[in-house]
Amino acid sequence: MLYIKCPYCGLRAQKEFSYGGDATVKRPNINEEVSSEDWDNFVYMRKSPRGKHIELWQHIAGCRQWIKVQRDTATHEIFQTAKVTEEIR
């Protein structure tokens, strides 16, 4: 079970969180034209990297905030967590 540091609540067990996918995907702006290719990329296309991956988790059984987690998909090592408004480098 992973141990995830919520930027609002501190270290909590994975049980309290739910996974939300790739955090680097940006939704096309609302009310703006978008090519079907860009749209399809946003909806469907995800990389499945082995190694570092910046992803979203929601602290559903805690503060209910969505957060960013940088995790190694192979080893589960977590390098960094941040609020969604913060950048992970």
Partner 1 sequence: MSQPFRLNKEGLINRNKKISFTFNGKKLFGYEGDTIASALIANGIHLVGRSFKYHRPRGFFGAGVEEPNAKLQVEFNGHSEPNVNATEMELVEGLSATSQNCWPSVNFDIGAINNFLKMFFPAGFYYKTFMWPKSFWYKIYEPFIRKAAGLGVASIEKDKERYEHKFEYCDLLVTGSGPSGLASAYAAAKNGAKVILAEDKPRFGGTLLTDDVSIDNLSGKDWAEKIINELKSMPNVTVKNRSQVFGYYDHNMLVMFERVSDHLEKKSKFTPRQRLWYIRAKETILSTGSIERPIVFGNNDTPGIFLSAAAKEYMKVYGVLVGKKPLIFTNNDSAYETALEFKKNNVEPIILDTREEHSSELIDEAKSKGIDIRFSHGVIVANGYKKVKSAKIGKLNKDKNSFEKIETVDCDCICVSGFWTPSVHLASQSGNKLKYEEKIDAFIPDKKKQHETSVGAANGSFTLEESLKNGFENGSNLSAKITDTKTEITIPNVNEKKYGAHDKFWCMPLPKNENPKRFVDFQNDVSVSDIEIALREGYRSIEHVKRYTTLGMATDQGRTSNLNGLQLVSNIENKIVPEVGHTTFRPPFTPITIGTIVGREVGMEYMPTRKTPMHEWHEKNNAVFVDAGAWKRPRFYKQGSETLFEASKREAKNVRENVGICDVTTLGKIDIKGPDAAEFLNRVYTNAWMKLPVGKARYGLMLREDGIVMDDGTTTRISENHYHMTTTTAQAANVLSHLEYYLQIVWPELNVNVVSTTEQWAGAAIAGPKSREMLSKLYPDLDVSNEALPFMGYKEAEFFGVPSRIFRISFSGELAYEINVKSDHGMFMWEKMMEVGKEFGNQPYGTEALSTLRIEMGHVAGPELDGRTIPSDVSLNGLVSKKKDFIGKNSLGREAFNVESRQKIVGLIPIDRKSSIPEGSHIVQDQNAKLPNPKLGHVSSSCWSVENNNPFSLAIMKDGKNMIGKKFFAVSPLKNKSIEVEVISSHYVDPEGKRVRS
- Is 51 within 8 Å of 38 (Cβ atoms)? no
Rounded to the nearest 5 degrees, what angle is found at the Cα of 24, between the Cα atoms of 21 and 27?
90
Find which of partner 1, Zn ion, none residue 5 binds, CB within 5 to 8 Å per kind.
none
Q: Between 25 and 64, how does the x/- string for binding to partner 1 read (CB under 8 A)? A: --xx-xxx-x-x--x--xxx-----------x-x-x---x
Binding-site member from 66, 80, 82, 88 for partner 1 (CB under 8 A): 66
Kindly state whether residue 78 participates in binding Zn ion, applying the rule CB under 5 A.
no
Distance (Å, whole) CA 60 – CA 55: 15
* Residues making contact with partner 1 (CB under 8 A): 1-3, 13, 18, 20, 27-28, 30-32, 34, 36, 39, 42-44, 56, 58, 60, 64-66, 75-76, 78, 84-85
* Residues making contact with Zn ion (CB under 5 A): 6, 8-9, 59, 62-63
